Amino acid sequence: MVPIDSSRLTMEQQRNTKRRRLAWDVAASPTEQQQQQEGKVRKIELSRHNSPPKREDDREGHYMYSLGDNLTPRYKILSKMGEGTFGRVLECWDRQTREYVAIKVVRSIRKYRDAAMIEVDVLEQLAKNSKGRSHCVQIRNWFDYRNHICIVFEKLGPSLFDFLKRNKYSPFPVDLVREIGRQLLESVAYMHSLHLIHTDLKPENILLVSSDYLKLPGYKRSSQGEISYRFLPKSSEIKLIDFGSTAYDNQNHSSIVSTRHYRAPEDLDGATHGEALFQTHENLEHLAMMERVLGPIPEHMIRRANRGAEKYFRRSRLNWPEGAVSRESIRAVRKLDRLKNMISVTVGGSRSSFVDLLQGPYDTATADEHQSSLDAVDKRRMKT
Ligand SMILES: Nc1ncnc2c1ncn2[C@@H]1O[C@H](COP(=O)(O)OP(=O)(O)OP(=O)(O)O)[C@@H](O)[C@H]1O
């Protein structure tokens, strides 16, 4: 906007300009008396919205509700948005702030109630330090209602997993992956700066902020010649959710953390990839799969292995294939390809830097050599 030089205006023009601004200013700031009146009206309005009669929880301790019920006079239940181990997440209308919110209604079981209070504590720490700028979901409020801890969140859109599923697990374009990856690393760095570890990072726990999407015709046609469609989020903005398993890095926590398919090697036991990269249910096989794809486990990681994990190593290397439980297991590991061959050519010019990023602490130079020596040992073992 161009600033007005009042010295060049006629008296009449100046009067009009001032009058307009004055009226605008007054409307923008209600008087204290008006505010008090609005507060009273809201209280009377809220008192009309009674809670429904108390019902028994279901067998798993979930809160029983009907759509349209009030959850305290302040919130009206509109729909169910999700369900997890801890409870159900309900879309609600907040009559006080006049916005849609997502409320996690936690099961009325002691261990889940206790974990929910830790989640509240973590969420409050995250909010206090970020001044609204972090990629972690914001807590709006919390309360204890009929023995259920209820955590009120800003309402977000679908998860990355929901999106991948909708696209029949075809991968996101690499530019979008890069944007999501950057925000994810920023949020993890922010948590680490507060000595917090999320421990359950996975596409299910990464939500898009907006639900808006584009529907684009895909490359492939169905066998009947019909065009298939791809759905793409309009905005790449994401936020992390589910801080129920967050650990403090200076306190003892369970040695095995995170969901198997996304578990990192330092947990001895990742990928924003539709398919699970390591389809396994066994620790040694899981580590062997990682070696196959990424190269040998770095020595410093082996040295740091704790008591429970020592059994997976012999003479400073993974006890593989000697420790394999079956030939099928050796075959399942051998079927996997090296990481650099898995990265699709569609990544284009950024392919080598992408491989570098994913490769992390693994030594790329010795990886190929290591794989050929493993192949030789595998073959010998299969023969015997
Ligand atoms: N703020 C939010 N906005 C929109 N949807 C949400 C929000 N928070 C959670 N959800 C939905 O509810 C589901 C369950 O939430 P969440 O993962 O926090 O629950 P949980 O019981 O702790 O789950 P888990 O079993 O993974 O520990 C999510 O997968 C997501 O679909």
Query: 79, 240, 242, 259: which to mutate for ligand 1, most atoms within 8 A of CB?
Result: 242
pLDDT of residue 6: 38
Residue with structure tokens 């439980």? 325
Q: Would the CA dihedral through 110, 144, 85, 198 be positive or negative?
A: negative
Q: Provide the pLDDT confidence category of residue 376 given band limits of 50, 70 and 90.
A: low
In a domain, 16, yes or no: no
Across 65-69, 78-82, 188-192, 295-299, least confident range: 295-299
Average pLDDT, the chain: 79
Q: Are 207 and 137 in contact (CB under 8 A)?
A: yes
**Nearest Cα residue to 92 out of 150, 161, 158, 163:** 150
Tokens of 100: 């849609």
In a domain, 226, yes or no: yes
Q: How many CA atoms lie within 13 A of 244 on its CB side?
A: 18
Q: What is the mean pLDDT of residues 301-306?
A: 78
| Residue that terminates a domain, selected from 248, 273, 300 | 248
Where in the chain does DSSP place strands (E)?
Answer: 70-71, 75-83, 87-94, 99-106, 139-145, 148-154, 196-197, 206-208, 213-221, 227-233, 238-240, 247-248, 313-314, 317-318
pLDDT of residue 304: 76
Q: Which CATH number characterizes residue 54's domain?
A: 3.30.200.20
For the CA of 86, the closest atom of ligand 1 is: 21
In a domain, 14, yes or no: no
User: pLDDT by residue (tens digit) across 180-200?
Assistant: 999 999 999 999 999 999 989
User: pLDDT by residue (tens digit) across 139-176?
Assistant: 999 999 999 999 999 999 999 999 999 998 888 888 89
Instruction: Judge whether residue 354 has pLDDT over 50.
Output: yes
In a domain, 37, yes or no: no
Same domain, 239 and 261: no
Q: Which CATH number characterizes residue 313's domain?
A: 1.10.510.10
In a domain, 13, yes or no: no
Q: What is the mean pLDDT of residues 51-75?
A: 94
Q: Provide the pLDDT confidence category of residue 245 given band limits of 50, 70 and 90.
A: confident
Same domain, 242 and 303: no
User: pLDDT by residue (tens digit) across 8-49?
Assistant: 333 334 433 333 333 222 333 455 666 677 666 666 566 677
Q: Are 238 and 183 in contact (CB under 8 A)?
A: yes
The neighbour count for residue 84, using CB atoms within 10 Å, is 15
Range of the domain at 180: 156-248
Distance between CA atoms of residues 144 and 159, nearest Å: 27
Same domain, 270 and 370: yes
Residue 290 C-alpha to ligand 1 middle, in angstroms? 29
Query: 91, 103, 104: which to mutate for ligand 1, most atoms within 8 A of CB?
Result: 104
Distance between CA atoms of residues 34 and 47, nearest Å: 20
Q: Provide the pLDDT confidence category of residue 120 given band limits of 50, 70 and 90.
A: very high
Which of 217-226, 266-275, 282-291, 363-372 tops mean pLDDT? 282-291
Distance between CA atoms of residues 286 and 266, nearest Å: 12
Q: What percent of the chain has pLDDT over 90?
A: 41
Instruction: Judge whether residue 102 has pLDDT over 90.
Output: yes
Ligand 1: residues with CB < 6 A are 81-82, 84-87, 89, 102, 104, 137, 153, 155-156, 159, 204-205, 207, 241-242, 244
pLDDT of residue 16: 39
In a domain, 195, yes or no: yes
Position with higher pLDDT, 63 vs 366: 63
Tokens of 32: 């204290």
Same domain, 120 and 160: no
Is residue 200 part of the annotated active site? The answer reads: yes
Same domain, 307 and 380: yes
Distance between CA atoms of residues 256 and 267, nearest Å: 6
Q: Are 239 and 190 in contact (CB under 8 A)?
A: no
| Residue that terminates a domain, selected from 154, 173, 190 | 154
Q: How many CA atoms lie within 13 A of 260 on its CB side?
A: 11
| Residue that terminates a domain, selected from 194, 219, 248 | 248
Same domain, 80 and 203: no
Across 56-65, 171-180, 213-222, 337-346, least confident range: 337-346
Same domain, 88 and 134: yes
